[in-house]
A and B are shown apart, each in its own frame.
Chain A
Amino acid sequence: KNQVEQSPQSLIILEGKNCTLQCNYTVSPFSNLRWYKQDTGRGPVSLTIMTFSENTKSNGRYTATLDADTKQSSLHITASQLSDSASYICVVSEKTSYDKVIFGPGTSLSVIP
């Protein structure tokens, strides 16, 4: 069964610190992986997308990595800001079905002053 798991479930860090969120998936055949940021009370917004051949992609202070062999991805946030407080969702798509994707449960990040 295709699944996406994320860890930790929640995380609290001090403003200015770095953090790394993890995503493990069993989706096969793999097509691509996206990280979304969801602010409280709003819909998710895409941060990055990575395909099989990409192993690092950055978007400002967000850097995503992908290891397609071990089926793991991470999202690294540098110099965190209060506005980074949100849920971060890993989403994986399967090559044989572009109509639908598989969402992870998300990691809830709280950045405190």
Chain B
Amino acid sequence: DAGITQSPRHKVTETGTPVTLRCHQTENHRYMYWYRQDPGHGLRLIHYSYGVKDTDKGEVSDGYSVSRSKTEDFLLTLESATSSQTSVYFCAISESGQGATEAFFGQGTRLTVV
């Protein structure tokens, strides 16, 4: 999977608890993305980063925050998990913007909020 590692791969958490998902890359790509995938929906962008400490919101950013302190790591935090955030989360990387260069995806993290 093009040098992308997501952790954890599976997580069950309780409503109201904070959760952090990690994406680690070994490709030195500038752009990193967090998506969520739900039945009946295409992949939806949560947040993305275009460099260290440079991030921007996607279409479904409410309830999520991100941080990128190093090129290789992009963290997604659910500040107070809700059942509507039960989903499969994918990290993606690309050399430049995803519209211009190919994106490579991690294997996903299945998060269940009970």
Residues of A within 8 A of B (CB): 4, 31-32, 34, 41-46, 49, 89, 93-94, 97-106
> Is B98 within 8 A of A101, CB to CB?
yes
> Is A98 within 8 A of B96, CB to CB?
yes
> Is B42 within 8 A of A94, CB to CB?
no
Measured CB to CB, the closest approach of chain B to A43, in angstroms, equals 3
> Is B107 within 8 A of A43, CB to CB?
yes
Contacts of A32 in B (CB 8 A): 99
Q: Complex formed: what's the CA distance from A34 to B105 in Å?
A: 14
4 pairs of A and B residues whose beta carbons are closest in the complex: A43-B105, A93-B99, A98-B97, A103-B42
Residues of B within 8 A of A (CB): 1, 4, 31, 40-45, 48, 50, 56, 58, 90, 92, 96-100, 102-108
Q: Which of A89, A99, A102 has the most CB of B within 10 A?
A: A99
Measured CB to CB, the closest approach of chain A to B70, in angstroms, equals 20
Which of A41, A45, A46, A97 sits near B99, CB closer than 8 Å? A97
Contacts of A93 in B (CB 8 A): 98-100
Contacts of A102 in B (CB 8 A): 42
Q: Complex formed: what's the CA distance from A89 to B92 in Å?
A: 15
> Which A-chain residue is minimally distant from B101 (CB atoms)?
A98
Contacts of A31 in B (CB 8 A): 99-100
Given contacts A31-B100, A41-B107, A46-B103, 16 further A-B contacts (CB under 8 A): A34-B102, A41-B108, A42-B107, A43-B92, A43-B106, A44-B105, A89-B42, A94-B99, A98-B96, A99-B50, A99-B56, A99-B97, A100-B97, A100-B98, A100-B99, A105-B42
